[in-house]
Amino acid sequence: MQRRRIARYGLRGATVAVFSERTPAGRYCRVQWREGGRRRTRSFPDSAAGRLEAKAFAAQIAAEQRPAGQAPAITLHALWTTYVAAEFDALRPKTQTNYRHQWWKWEQFVDPTTPARAVTREDLDRFRKALRAQQLAVKQIRNCVDLVKLVYRFGVDRDLVPPTRILEYRVKAGKDEKRLETAEYRPQEGLRILGALDPSRAEQWRAWALFTILHYMGPRVAAALRLQWSDIDVARAMITWPVATDKMGKRREQPVPAQVAHALQVAWAWRTADGYAGPWVFYTPRRRWKGDRPLTYGGVQRMLREAERRAGVAHVHMNATHRFRRGAAGTVYELTGDAGRAMEWIGDDIRQAGRYVKARGQRLRAVADLLSGADDGKR
Rounded distance, CA 30 to CA 19, Å?
5
Which overall architecture, per CATH, does domain 76-168 show?
A: Orthogonal Bundle (1.10)
User: Tens digits of per-residue pLDDT, 271-283?
Assistant: 999 989 889 999 9
Q: Of the given ranges (29-38, 183-192, 217-226, 240-249), which has the lowest mean pLDDT? A: 240-249
Taken in order 60, 62, 63, 64, the sign of the CA dihedral is: positive
Specify the pLDDT at position 379. 43
Q: Of the given ranges (190-194, 201-205, 223-227, 350-354), which has the lowest mean pLDDT? A: 350-354
Specify the pLDDT at position 99. 94
- What's the pLDDT band for 71 if we cut at 50, 70, 90? low
Query: Which is higher by pLDDT, 143 or 175?
Result: 143
Q: Of the given ranges (83-87, 88-92, 234-238, 248-252), which has the lowest mean pLDDT? A: 248-252
Query: Which is higher by pLDDT, 181 or 206?
Result: 206
User: Tens digits of per-residue pLDDT, 213-232?
Assistant: 999 999 999 899 999 999 99
User: Tens digits of per-residue pLDDT, 174-187?
Assistant: 655 555 556 788 88
Is 187-365 a CATH 1.10.443.10 domain? yes
Average pLDDT over residues 120-139: 88
Query: Which is higher by pLDDT, 316 or 256?
Result: 256
- What's the pLDDT band for 204 if we cut at 50, 70, 90? very high
User: Tens digits of per-residue pLDDT, 347-358?
Assistant: 888 877 776 676
- What's the pLDDT band for 91 if we cut at 50, 70, 90? confident
Q: What percentage of the chain has pLDDT greater than the value 70?
A: 85
Question: Which pTM value belongs to this model?
Answer: 0.61
Indicate if the pLDDT at residue 344 is higher than 80.
yes
Specify the pLDDT at position 38. 86
Intra-chain end-to-end CA distance of the chain, in Å: 74
Specify the pLDDT at position 24. 82
Rounded distance, CA 337 to CA 366, Å?
12
What torsion, rounded to 10 degrees, do the Cα atoms 322, 302, 205, 275 define?
-110
Write down the mean pLDDT value for the chain.
Answer: 84
User: Tens digits of per-residue pLDDT, 110-125?
Assistant: 888 888 888 888 999 9
